[in-house]
């Protein structure tokens, strides 16, 4: 009887550990987040998206208003085209809004941040955000600092 109780306890401990591991993997991969309600799609083109990934958050003033749905290379401009699902609750984004790719913390995940414009005309399904700022790539910054520091030496 005592042996059976130990086996049940160990089994529960293992199952709890597996559930915790599954929960953490969903948190890391953004698979557990709620879907975007009544979404409409807008897109933006960037010269460099860094390590932006599909399902990355789209935020405005720090509030998540959507998700990155798709990333592809535009074959005519050779820019990254980021297609975003924006929640229908936020259907009054001015057409002159801007998009930038930011990083949460120093080495955190990247996300798209939207800044509202001032026009009275609003983005609708399929519209393109024209004002964009690409991701800042840390390796490029370090390289620029190193080469700039060496250019002063004879």
Give the tens place of pLDDT for each residue, 7-51.
999 999 999 999 998 888 776 665 545 567 889 999 999 999 988
HSE-CB of 62 using CA atoms within 13 angstroms: 0
Alpha-carbon span 81 to 104, nearest angstrom: 21
Torsion angles phi and psi, residue 125, rounded to 5: -50, 125
**Residues 6+ positions from 14 with CB-CB distance below 8 Å:** none
Q: Which of 63, 92, 79, 82 is nearest to 129 (CA)?
A: 82
User: For the residues 79-87, what does the mean pLDDT come to?
Assistant: 95
- Segment 119-135, tens digit of pLDDT: 999 999 999 999 999 88
> Which H helix or E strand runs over 138?
helix 138-151
DSSP assignment of 47-101: S--TT--TT-EEEETTEEEEEEEEEEE-TTT--EEEEEEE-GGG---BTT-EEEE
Answer with the residue of higher pLDDT: 145 or 56. 56
**According to the model, what pLDDT value does residue 142 have?**
79
- Are residues 60 and 86 both part of a single domain? yes
Residue 59 to residue 87: CA distance in whole angstroms: 11
Mean pLDDT, the chain, rounded, equals: 87
Q: Write down the pLDDT at residue 29.
A: 63
Are 17 and 71 contained in the same domain? Answer: no
**Predicted pLDDT of residue 152:** 56
Same domain, 11 and 84: no
More confident of the two residues 13 and 2: 13
Domain count, the chain: 2
Q: Which of 39, 62, 53 is nearest to 123 (CA)?
A: 39
37 or 3, greater pLDDT: 3
The reply to whether 87 and 21 lie within a common domain is no
pLDDT at 30: 57
* Residues 23 and 80 reside in one and the same domain: no
Q: What is the domain range of residue 69?
A: 40-138
């Amino acid at each position: 009887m005592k042996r059976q109780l130990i086996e049940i306890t160990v089994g529960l401990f293992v199952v709890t550990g597996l559930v915790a591991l599954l929960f953490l993997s969903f948190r890391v991969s953004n698979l557990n987040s709620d879907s975007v309600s009544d979404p409409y799609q807008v897109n933006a083109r960037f010269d460099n998206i860094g390590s932006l990934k599909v399902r990355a958050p789209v935020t405005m003033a720090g509030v998540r208003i959507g998700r990155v749905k798709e990333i592809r290379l535009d074959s005519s401009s050779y820019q990254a085209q980021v297609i975003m699902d924006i929640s229908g609750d936020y259907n009054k984004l001015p057409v002159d809004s801007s998009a930038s790719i930011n990083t949460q913390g120093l080495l955190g995940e990247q996300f798209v941040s939207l800044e509202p414009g001032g026009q009275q005309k609003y983005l609708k399904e399929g519209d393109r955000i024209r004002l964009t700022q690409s991701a800042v790539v840390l390796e490029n910054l370090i390289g620029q600092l190193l080469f700039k520091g060496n250019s002063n030496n004879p």
